[in-house]
């Protein structure tokens, strides 16, 4: 029989077993892993200086037999200096802090080097090994080294003790994997297949089998979630992947994924599934201060967290927010950090995109070292990943932020204040050249100054560890660090520009135009990726911006819903063009809304291109309701609604269905409710209003984003790439909002409703080309003919 192998990297081993003490985010060594990505060039410089006896980036691997399995420990030593009678392992760490503040090597860094030393000594019969920690200041390239010499017996005793502590965890992983895979073999699809659903499931499995990427356009109601999760779980059981990442943009879609796993568990599926909740939501403290002085859960967290993990892993399979909170309180550990640790042991991780793709928030234990693993990515509502990707891989700094921090530190940190002054001067020069916005070819001179600023900030914060520090300084530190990280990634998918905003603030932005290369870096760490969405049109646009692959698969799944259950109408006698806006046009839209809703009482949502346009039409609606016999209850989406306000808005729609089911109060059921919303807002996607909860969506305008500098820069960039700039910057994002809003109406096979598009521009050839195939029966007309169609639809059986 083939031996069962548990693999772990040297770094993960020592960081897991040897961690201790408190969580303390007051600028500690935890930032070094991120900064090392900035310092890869420094690594190579140091390695080249070390002479011919020095070997760089040496892969090392050791297999240790254990009861029932083999533990494989592997990694890459930064350097090995081997001379005739002496050999030394060199571990290089790039830092931004002053080296005088490092008085001894950091424990996990030293432990890494010792592991490499033991493996090398064992495999090459060395009785004694040197261990060297090389710290390098990345701004001035100053170096500080720490050395020790250990005999083989000392190294072996230390190393085997670390390994012994990890054995129970490795044994748990092996035994659980066998149990999980046995349960997957017996698994069957839990429902009768809907039309298109089986094709989707088969396509997902084939894609994973071939280690490819798949783009899925599938309308609401096909059952995308189950049709992607089921074949992916089956693939895990057959060794085609080891961990599932179900990635979402919104909380509600995470709930749907949780429910799908629960449905499969009703067939005795055994999988450990964890849902990651944002730190600000799961934190027990009123103010999110992650240090032992402010938070009792941070104090001694690392002394207790492994026990908390083992306890939960051996007693529960589902790790949602409430379970994690309960366990964190029981063991007095941070619930957020506990969830991140447990994700390493889970079979499926349900989380936001940023946990995989965002360089500031991704799970470094999975995606920080660039190693390929057996991950399977399911990307839900993947149309959202285009804009989210651009945000994740862009960076911005404001001149005003530099001045603010300069004022705060000028009396207590002269070197930092000077570095900020020099940086501000360069921003001032750029500002003098900029009337509106200006594209820059290079900002290398500013990056150099910012490196100096970052070094001084690090020193400032290090010296004040434990003291209360202005939040502006801390925020600025992370912004500068992110700016330099993004600067290192600059390529021809970026545009650098300065902008003088209307409010007078001046910014420098490293703007990611096409995030595909950056996303690919993380997707390459897995085996296969399934992108799916109800609104993935045109597919070539999304393939261009989400993947660099030339052989990605794509499928179109048709709607399984009866065509007679919905009517799609296009009003041609109105428009949202700026040149045509005015009181007469707002009056015309108000007439449409009131007359359409008068044909059948019920719940409707109307989506507008902006709050201003919405308010203008709402005013006309109210005027007509006062003058004429219209009885409509209006609900209005407000800017910046909190969670409670959003829930209250949706609850008003849910009441109709509830009263209908309970057979109560006929008047309540018969009331017409008209929700005024904005396209692309919180109510235009990701909400489920089934059956009588919603019987119509009226969409005002083609959803084009407002003309602004960001969009114009985006347009010019894609034009320069011989791609349709207007379509990429305006048309495709706008039409996606329209398709998402329209998708609110028909959610189940029992739903019945109308979709009304009100703007003559929808009839344009390029817009019609983006319509789903199911919209081929769209009826066009003026107000009179549209109202006749609405009436006919509701009167038909």
Burial of 704 (0-12, 13-18, 19+ CB in 10 A): buried
Q: What is the C-alpha to C-alpha distance for residues 735 and 742, in angstroms, rounded to an integer?
A: 10
pLDDT in tens, 99-149: 888 889 988 899 999 999 999 999 999 999 999 998 888 777 888 999 999
Q: What is the C-alpha to C-alpha distance for residues 346 and 337, in angstroms, rounded to an integer?
A: 14
Q: What is the C-alpha to C-alpha distance for residues 641 and 684, in angstroms, rounded to an integer?
A: 14
Q: Judge contact between 569 and 786, C-beta under 8 A.
A: yes
- CA angle 553/554/560 to nearest 5° reads 140
* Structure confidence at residue 664 (pLDDT): 43
- With bands split at pLDDT 50, 70 and 90, how would you rate the model's confidence at 667? very low
Give yes or no for residue 34 having a pLDDT over 50: no
* Structure confidence at residue 94 (pLDDT): 79
pLDDT in tens, 574-588: 999 989 999 999 999
In 10 A of CB 627, how many CB atoms? Answer: 8
* Structure confidence at residue 95 (pLDDT): 77
Q: What is the C-alpha to C-alpha distance for residues 189 and 260, in angstroms, rounded to an integer?
A: 11
**Range in 82-86, 427-431, 787-791 the model is least confident about:** 82-86
User: How far from 344 is each of 87, 354, 364, 541, CA to CA, in Å?
Assistant: 35, 16, 11, 34
* Structure confidence at residue 39 (pLDDT): 57
pTM above 0.85, yes or no: yes
Burial of 643 (0-12, 13-18, 19+ CB in 10 A): exposed
CA 7 from chain center: how many Å? 27
Q: Which of 347, 366, 382 has its CA nearest to residue 526?
A: 366
What contacts 24+ positions apart, CB below 8 Å, involve 339-346?
Answer: 339/274, 339/276, 339/277, 339/282, 340/276, 340/365, 341/305, 341/309, 342/274, 342/309, 342/312, 342/313, 343/274, 343/276, 345/173, 345/272, 345/309, 345/313, 346/243, 346/272, 346/273, 346/274, 346/319
Task: Give me the phi and psi of 323, to 5 degrees please.
Answer: -65, -45
Q: Judge contact between 135 and 99, C-beta under 8 A.
A: yes
Handedness of CA 38, 44, 49, 53 (dihedral sign): positive
The token pair at 544 is 């261009």
**Range in 139-148, 383-392, 395-404 the model is least confident about:** 139-148
Q: Judge contact between 39 and 136, C-beta under 8 A.
A: yes
- CA angle 597/598/601 to nearest 5° reads 70
pLDDT in tens, 36-56: 445 566 667 777 778 778 888
Handedness of CA 260, 266, 268, 270 (dihedral sign): positive
* Structure confidence at residue 221 (pLDDT): 76
Please tell me which residue, 543 or 20, carries the higher pLDDT value. Answer: 543
Give yes or no for residue 669 having a pLDDT over 70: no
Q: What string of DSSP letters covers 495-509?
A: EEEEEE-TTS-EEEE
Q: Which of 289, 224, 678 has its CA nearest to residue 468?
A: 289
Tokens 């670390």 -> residue? 162
**Which helix or strand (DSSP H or E) is residue 265 part of?**
helix 251-265
Percent of all residues in the chain with a pLDDT value above 90, rounded to a whole number:
71
Give yes or no for residue 30 having a pLDDT over 70: no
Across 762-771, average pLDDT: 95
**Range in 136-140, 212-216, 390-394, 531-535 the model is least confident about:** 136-140
pLDDT in tens, 245-274: 999 987 777 889 999 999 999 999 999 999
379: left (phi over 0), alpha (psi -120 to 50) or beta: beta
Domains plus CATH for the chain? 5-170 (3.90.320.10), 187-386+516-556 (3.40.50.300), 395-512 (1.10.275.40), 563-795 (3.40.50.300)
Give yes or no for residue 362 having a pLDDT over 70: no
Average pLDDT along the chain: 90
Q: Judge contact between 246 and 378, C-beta under 8 A.
A: yes
| Secondary structure (3-state) at 374 | coil
For the chain, how many residues are written? 797
**Which helix or strand (DSSP H or E) is residue 129 part of?**
strand 128-137
Q: Judge contact between 331 and 305, C-beta under 8 A.
A: yes
**Range in 89-98, 164-173, 344-353, 726-735 the model is least confident about:** 89-98
* Structure confidence at residue 291 (pLDDT): 86
Give yes or no for residue 700 having a pLDDT over 70: yes
Which residues of 29-98 form beta strands (DSSP E)? 54-66, 69-83, 86-95
pLDDT in tens, 458-488: 888 878 876 777 889 989 999 999 999 999 9
Q: What is the C-alpha to C-alpha distance for residues 574 and 758, in angstroms, rounded to an integer?
A: 6
DSSP 8-state code for residue 726: H
Across 772-785, average pLDDT: 94
Give yes or no for residue 93 having a pLDDT over 70: yes
Q: What is the C-alpha to C-alpha distance for residues 513 and 714, in angstroms, rounded to an integer?
A: 6
Q: Judge contact between 651 and 613, C-beta under 8 A.
A: no
- With bands split at pLDDT 50, 70 and 90, how would you rate the model's confidence at 631? confident
* Structure confidence at residue 177 (pLDDT): 92
Those residues whose C-beta lies under 8 Å from the C-beta of residue 310, and which sit 6 or more positions away, are 168, 169, 172
Q: What is the C-alpha to C-alpha distance for residues 319 and 120, in angstroms, rounded to an integer?
A: 40
Q: For the chain, how are helix, strand and coil distributed in percent, rounded to 5?
A: 50, 20, 30
The token pair at 296 is 């009792």
32, 34, 35, 36 alpha-carbon torsion, rounded to 10°: 90
Give yes or no for residue 341 having a pLDDT over 70: yes
* Structure confidence at residue 368 (pLDDT): 60
Burial of 466 (0-12, 13-18, 19+ CB in 10 A): exposed
Burial of 569 (0-12, 13-18, 19+ CB in 10 A): buried
Across 211-238, average pLDDT: 94
CA 101 from chain center: how many Å? 35
């Amino acid at each position: 029989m083939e031996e069962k192998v548990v693999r772990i990297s040297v770094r993960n081993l020592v960081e897991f077993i040897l961690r201790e003490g408190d969580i303390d985010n007051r600028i500690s060594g935890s930032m070094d892993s991120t900064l090392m990505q900035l310092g890869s060039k420094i690594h190579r410089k140091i390695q080249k200086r070390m002479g011919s006896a020095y070997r760089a980036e040496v892969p090392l691997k050791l297999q240790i037999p254990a009861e029932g399995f083999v533990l494989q420990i592997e990694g890459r030593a930064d350097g090995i200096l081997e001379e005739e009678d002496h050999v030394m392992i060199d571990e290089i760490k790039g830092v931004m802090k002053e080296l005088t503040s490092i008085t001894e090597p950091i424990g996990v860094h030293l432990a890494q080097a010792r592991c490499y030393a033991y493996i090398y000594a064992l495999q090459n019969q060395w009785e004694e090994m040197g261990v060297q920690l090389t710290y390098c200041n990345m701004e001035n390239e100053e170096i500080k080294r720490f050395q020790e010499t250990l005999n083989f017996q000392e190294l072996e005793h230390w190393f085997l003790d670390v390994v012994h502590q990890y054995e129970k965890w490795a044994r748990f992983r092996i035994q659980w994997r066998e149990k999980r895979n046995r349960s997957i073999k017996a698994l069957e699809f839990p429902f009768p297949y809907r039309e298109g659903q089986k094709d989707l499931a088969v396509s997902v499995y084939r894609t994973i089998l071939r280690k490819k990427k798949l783009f899925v356009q599938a309308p609401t109601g096909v059952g995308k979630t189950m049709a992607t999760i089921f074949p992916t779980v089956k693939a895990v059981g057959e060794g085609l992947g080891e961990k599932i990442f179900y990635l979402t943009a919104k909380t509600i879609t995470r709930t749907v994924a949780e429910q799908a796993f629960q449905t499969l568990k009703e067939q005795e599926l055994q999988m450990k599934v964890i849902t990651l909740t944002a730190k600000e939501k799961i934190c027990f403290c009123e103010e999110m201060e992650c240090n032992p002085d402010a938070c009792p859960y941070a104090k001694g967290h690392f002394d207790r967290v492994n026990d908390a993990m083992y306890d939960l892993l051996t007693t529960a399979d589902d790790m949602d927010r409430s379970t994690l909170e309960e366990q964190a309180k029981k063991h007095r550990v941070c619930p957020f950090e506990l969830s991140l640790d447990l994700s390493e042991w889970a079979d499926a991780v349900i989380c936001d995109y940023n946990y995989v793709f965002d360089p500031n928030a991704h799970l470094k234990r999975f995606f920080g070292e660039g190693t390929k693993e057996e991950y399977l990515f399911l990307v839900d509502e993947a149309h959202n990943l285009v804009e989210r990707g651009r945000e994740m891989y862009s960076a911005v700094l404001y001149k005003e932020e530099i001045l603010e921090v300069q004022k705060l530190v000028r009396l207590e940190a002269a070197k930092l204040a000077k570095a900020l002054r020099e940086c501000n001067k360069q921003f001032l020069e750029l500002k003098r050249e900029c009337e509106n916005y200006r594209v820059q070819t290079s900002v290398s001179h500013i990056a150099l100054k910012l490196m100096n600023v970052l070094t001084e900030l690090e020193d400032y914060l290090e010296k004040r560890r434990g003291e209360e520090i202005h939040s502006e300084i801390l925020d600025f530190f992370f912004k500068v660090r992110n700016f330099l990280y993004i600067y290192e990634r600059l390529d021809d998918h970026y545009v650098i520009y300065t902008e003088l905003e209307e409010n007078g603030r001046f910014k420098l932005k490293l703007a990611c135009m096409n995030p595909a290369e950056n996303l690919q870096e993380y997707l390459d760490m897995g085996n296969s990726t399934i992108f799916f969405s109800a609104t993935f049109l045109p597919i070539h646009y999304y393939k261009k911006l989400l993947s660099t692959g030339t052989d990605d698969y794509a499928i179109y799944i048709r709607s399984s819903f009866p065509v007679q259950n919905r009517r799609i109408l296009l009003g041609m006698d109105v428009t949202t063009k700026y040149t045509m806006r005015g009181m007469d046009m707002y009056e015309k839209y108000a007439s449409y809304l009131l007359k359409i809703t008068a044909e059948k009482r019920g719940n409707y949502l109307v989506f507008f291109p902006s709050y201003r346009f919405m308010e203008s039409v709402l005013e006309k609606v109210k005027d007509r309701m006062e003058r004429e016999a219209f009885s409509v209850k209006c609900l209005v989406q407000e800017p910046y609604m909190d969670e409670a306000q959003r829930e209250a808005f949706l609850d008003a729609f849910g009441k109709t269905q509830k009263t209908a089911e309970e057979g109560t109060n006929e008047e309540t059921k018969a009331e017409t409710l008209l929700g005024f919303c904005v396209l692309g807002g919180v109510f235009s996607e990701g909400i489920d209003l089934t059956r009588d909860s919603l019987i119509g969506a009226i969409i005002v305008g083609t959803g084009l984003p407002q003309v602004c500098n960001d969009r114009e820069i985006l347009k010019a960039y894609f034009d320069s790439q011989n791609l349709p700039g207007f379509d990429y910057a305006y048309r495709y994002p706008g039409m996606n909002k329209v398709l998402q809003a329209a998708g609110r109406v028909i959610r189940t096979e029992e739903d019945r409703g109308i979709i009304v598009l009100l703007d003559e521009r929808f009839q344009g050839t390029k817009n019609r080309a983006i319509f789903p195939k199911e919209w081929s029966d769209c009826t066009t007309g003026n107000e009179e003919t549209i109202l006749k169609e609405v009436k006919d639809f509701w009167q038909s059986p």
